Amino acid sequence: MEILGIGTDIVECPRIGKMIEQYGELFLRRVYTAREVRYCQARKHAIEHFAGRWAAKEAILKAMGTGWSRGISWTDIEVRTGESGQPRVMVGGIAKEVARERGIADILISISHCRTYATAYAVALAKKAPPTTPPTTAQD
């Protein structure tokens, strides 16, 4: 497994809270998928979860090596929660095309947050190389 890129981001949770307060549904629909909105709104500290997913999306784009270029939209990247609670990255749209072009097979993500800050760290992984067989040696 080869690491193709890493990315990290940190955001102030109150900043995301102000964006949601100021722009409401317009902001939420632009940045988050419907699944992400449902997940975050169901949490006790929803703003921290929205901020965590914001930081995750930024970190993922850094790991992909693109930033917000090439027409990638916020909702091309979705952070889902696995059965054991770990975050999982799903890419679609232009982000999926870019990932394919760059040989990215998977993106691992870690998210952390408190009342003040949310942070995320992403690692973009290459497709697994076929296993190599060790060279054979002559027996005496």
Q: Angle at CA 96, nearest 5°, toward 91 and 97? A: 170
Q: Where are the domains of the chain?
A: 3-126
Q: What are the residue numbers of the active site?
A: 62, 113
pTM for the structure as a whole: 0.88
Q: What are phi and psi of 99, to 5 degrees?
A: -60, -45
What fold, for 3-126?
A: Ribosomal Protein L22; Chain A (3.90.470)
Chain segment 90-135, per-residue pLDDT in tens: 999 999 999 999 999 999 999 999 999 999 999 999 977 656 655 5
3-state secondary structure of 42: coil
